[in-house]
Structure 1
Amino acid sequence: MPAEGRQRIDKWLFFARVVKSRTLAARLAQGGRVRVNRNKIDQASYQVKVGDVLTITLDRRILVYRILDTGERRGPASEARLLYEDLSPPEPPRSEAEAGPVREPGAGRPTKRERRQLDQLKGRP
């Protein structure tokens, strides 16, 4: 019988709406993409408790959550937010260089001449 106040990591991730399904939560834990108190875990059955700090590596971001409560069910998002405190670092602002070249609205598709100029600018043959 599990200890009082503890819950499987895959259930907690599902209840907190970090992932869409419990299967995805189990894959995330088994794939080594979840750390509990800085220790990498590799089992979906790992037991977490209130006060644990989770570091979750997703495709495009890193989430850092402190567990405030274990859930009883997967409820609405407002209920899920009560299960954790978000300690994630703020996302860095995107620079204009990362966004790529911007065309004026209504300019349409580039002409053949403009396309050659873009290729030359980017160093393409």
Structure 2
Amino acid sequence: KEVIFSRIDELIDIFDLEGRENDLLEGYSRGMKQKVCLCAALIQDPKIIFLDEPTSNLDPAAARMVKDLISDLAKKADKTIFICTHLLDAAEELCDLIGIIDDGINLYLLTLSNNIISYNLSTS
């Protein structure tokens, strides 16, 4: 229990949510709600993390912080992170492998140097 409370305090600090802990979510902006969702994804300190548009609705400073956090988690904390994004610059900045999916079908799997390591033309 103490570990969870310690983790909560850590995430509140990381996401700059001090003083807002007891506020109702309905009063939060979209960016604040995004931060709470990211906290929820990280609270249990998982080894594998799935994030859908993690910088969506965040101001530029918060988006930069989230990108840095994702990078640190992947490199220093040895986490595997799957990111769904439409922002190709974010994918290039954060990812070692990039999968391009169209209508649920994985079409390409690329290395960071844009070498195609897998290609699927099947659309059935």
The TM-score, its normalising length taken from structure 2, stands at 0.27
Name the structure with the higher helix share: 2
Q: Which protein shows a greater Rg?
A: 1
TM-score normalized with structure 1 length: 0.27
